Amino acid sequence: MEEGKFVLWAQVRTGTPQMKVDKEGVLRPNAWPEGGSLVYLGDVTQAVLSSLGPHSPPEFIERPGFDEQRWTISVQSNELKILIRSESYWGFGLFARCYLNKIEIIGTRNDTARIAFDIIASLGRDPWATTFPFAFRRKTELSINDHQENWTELINAGKYELAENIELIADQYRKLIGKVDKIGKEHLIGVDENITTARQALHDRNAPAVSRALSRAERSLILANPKTRSNLEEQMNESDDEEIPFVDLTESE
């Protein structure tokens, strides 16, 4: 699937968390021992970064100055490249709600849809619901309805993909019913429970929980099927055999 560029705008509600920018322009925790200049990350950018999973340390393209909430950062995770600009769109930026974030995502539509779904789940609110609608429209040159459509189109695509993944597991589960031994039946109970958990997590817009539940369900499916169970058990035993023995170095000789 070809890469594309997707632009989303979001209303900031809080300036926290407070963090640091080190001398090389990398985002660091507020307690960074080497110090650094102050930056207010904001709830939207915090949601974006937490939704990315493992990623490279965000780097500042434009560092904060007198206004610690005005900046531009770049971050990459796997195939996704994200640029986030934080700036005031109303008044003199005296309050966090006077700020917006422009989020530019470069990646496939599927990956972008998934991250948009995760951002909404992490925020717990609609990012297009603005504090100052007229100023937001003027700054972004888009109507509030346009913003809502841009977000919801990606969110629905992300939700659809997760729902498809759940149904793939559910279909494999249904095919095994009545075709497994006693041990397999016990594992199928776990599959059924995790499918239910995944569906509830999807309803709650909790994509990480969906993925965890599906991972557990898939493992239980393998263990439920006598044809695949032995292979997995063999791999697990080999993994146990290869573990490095623990040596307590704290004991004195």
List the domain boundaries for the chain.
4-142, 159-240
| Predicted pLDDT of residue 248 | 36
Residue 232's pLDDT band (cuts 50, 70, 90): low
Cα separations in angstroms, 49 against 35, 61, 82, 92, 167: 21, 16, 10, 27, 29
- At residue 252, does pLDDT exceed 50? no
32 Cβ contact partners less than 8 Å away, ≥ 6 residues apart: 20, 22
Yes or no: say if 49 and 28 are a contact pair by the CB < 8 Å rule: no
80-88 and 37-40 beta bridge pairing: unpaired
DSSP string, 220-253: HHHHHSHHHHHHHHHHHHHHHHTSPPP--TTS--
pLDDT digits (tens, 9 = 90+) for 118-161: 999 899 999 999 999 999 999 999 999 999 999 999 999 999 99
Can you give the pTM of this predicted structure?
Answer: 0.81
Please report the pLDDT score of residue 249 as a whole number.
33
SS3 assignment, position 103: strand
Supply angle C-alpha 149, 9, 77, rounded to 5.
Answer: 105
How large a percentage of the chain has pLDDT more than 70?
A: 91
pLDDT at 244 over 50: no
pLDDT of res. 196: 98
| Best CA proximity match to 97, nearest among 155, 169, 30, 15 | 15
